[in-house]
Structure 1
């Protein structure tokens, strides 16, 4: 345990330290719930962002697949889908963390209920010393007033009978005052003992609470950091793919995917008319293929 700050700083004239420490413990449960709500809101935002990125990826896939620029949309689509997956993975981690926080909140409620029962005697001691302190103050004021009244009467020459009556009142006030001084001493001893134990208990509870909250926040930070690393990797991959998508590569892909063939038209040379062949061709047989020349060879044309 660290320095006993609670033990040293929650006393005071009105003895309100117990009330402050008790409500501080209850505020710890409120803080846990608020942290759970914060993480849940972050998860909601991340999920909405992931869905938006998925929608954006579909937009990229619906872009024109024609033209030289078409392959670039595939790079955008893949990168955007990966970013959406990164954020959705963070959502999953945050949802698991929320379950952990909720479990802690339930444990807190049980522990606080148990603690309330354990410190009930301290609350009684606090209420007792506060009550005795008020009664002691009133008895002291009454004692002082009765003593001053008796002295005033003596100076003013009051009768012996009146002085005797005043003396009885002083005696009674003195006895009451002394009894409350004694009661206060007993109440003080009981209060200090109970308060010492309770202050240490409350500090122990608070130390454990803050430590647990720090562990939760560490898990939260770690999840977010891991996501940022993944996003950075996706971005690096995107940049690399874009760098590899050079002008030459885009032109090459279009040529390979949309090309119509590498064979160029063959040359056609002048052919001198062969009279004998031409004569025969004057009355060609019906359906007889006509000759033609290609690549330096005589071929037959199918009608």
Structure 2
């Protein structure tokens, strides 16, 4: 992947890594089998995705695990972020489940209260208002029961079922990148072994050459040629091992970029999904308030029509015992 040029600087891992293993070259350093340029000997590297704070630009170096003390690969930090996000999502779903339980219990209690026959014998316009108030409790209970059902289907359930195969996918990514990193470490070990072998061959050639020059040995020029040939072969082997190492590192680099961008996409998808369903929660809550308000409106309207004079008229008409008033008795 060809990086785009930008003035944004990338911090060199060589300057602050606790897992540093210096290379023999003075322009580069190898840290846990990964080769980085030294900041003092290389031009600044442009970011792959400048301005995005992308995963693929900031997790190349390893860092020491504060709990275990071991070096933690940058990719492992990304995986832990994903796993934490999944756990937070699960806990949000559990929170919604508790909210649903509260709504269901509240609805049941409202329905039960609406059926209690207290003050059922109140008459007239006030009695009508009181009856409507009790009915509004039953209507409100129905609203809250529907709200709890919609919370389950439109918020809780999606939070629980989103990324059902998440752990399996994360394990696949983890094993893939870990295998490439293991291959890279093996290639680096091969380079170190080949470098030591070359040093031994060069030292042997130098010793034999010196012995021949000062005639301290019966070694012939044929022995020198043989030593020189072995030294050349060792050099060729080192070049081959370095080439294999660079190929392995290039493959690891490409897969790190691809996979970290995929994790980045999944995290954006998770956040957007949660935001969408939390907004749905607020919408449902607002609608519930509106429906609750609608159950109270008839009560409000009837209370405005409560008229003590009218109630007295109705009661008198129903319960009167006679309209003729007493008069004085005649003698």
Please, what TM-score do these two structures have when normalized by structure 2? 0.58
The match for 2:311 among 222, 232, 250 is: 250
How many residue pairs get matched? 245
**How far did 1:43 drift?**
0.6
Aligned to 1:236: 297
Question: Closer, same or farther in 2 for the Cα pair 1:26/1:256, shift >3 Å?
Answer: farther
The 10-residue stretch of structure 1 (259-268 or 93-102) with the greater mean CA deviation from structure 2: 259-268
Q: Are 1:260 and 2:260 matched, yes or no? A: no
DSSP-derived class of the 1:109 partner: coil
Q: Residue deviations 1:136-191, cap 9 Å, x none?
A: 9988xx99xx9xxxxxxxxxxxxx99xxxxxxxxx9xx979988765653332122
Decide whether the 8 Å contact of 1:6 with 1:200 is kept in 2: yes
**How far did 1:12 drift?**
1.7
Decide whether the 8 Å contact of 1:18 with 1:126 is kept in 2: no
Decide whether the 8 Å contact of 2:62 with 2:74 is kept in 1: no
Structure (1/2) with the larger helix percentage: 1
Q: How large is the Cα RMSD of the aligned pairs?
A: 4.2
Question: Closer, same or farther in 2 for the Cα pair 1:64/1:234, shift >3 Å?
Answer: closer
Q: Residue deviations 1:50-75, cap 9 Å, x none?
A: 1222232233x322515676444313
Decide whether the 8 Å contact of 2:133 with 2:296 is kept in 1: no
Gaps of 5+ in 2: 1-48, 64-71, 201-215, 218-230
**How far did 1:37 drift?**
1.2
Counterparts of 2:157 and 2:176, CA distance in 1 = 35
**How far did 1:197 drift?**
0.8
The match for 1:95 among 135, 143, 152 is: 152
Higher relative contact order (CA 8 A, sep 6+): 1
Counterparts of 1:35 and 1:13, CA distance in 2 = 32
Aligned to 1:202: 263
The match for 2:77 among 20, 24, 31 is: 20
Decide whether the 8 Å contact of 2:107 with 2:140 is kept in 1: yes
Question: Closer, same or farther in 2 for the Cα pair 1:118/1:89, shift >3 Å?
Answer: same
Aligned to 1:152: none
Q: Residue deviations 1:277-300, cap 9 Å, x none?
A: xxxxxxxxxxxxxxxxxxxxxxxx
Question: Closer, same or farther in 2 for the Cα pair 1:55/1:179, shift >3 Å?
Answer: same
Counterparts of 2:192 and 2:307, CA distance in 1 = 94
Aligned to 1:149: none
Gaps of 5+ in 1: 147-159, 162-170, 272-303
Aligned to 1:42: 99
Q: Could you list the runs of 4 or more consecutive aligned residues of structure 1 that deviate by over 4 angstroms after TM superposition? A: 66-72, 130-133, 135-139, 174-184, 265-271
Question: Closer, same or farther in 2 for the Cα pair 1:5/1:250, shift >3 Å?
Answer: farther
**How far did 1:80 drift?**
1.9
Q: Are 1:127 and 2:185 matched, yes or no? A: no
Counterparts of 1:236 and 1:51, CA distance in 2 = 22
Aligned to 2:136: 79
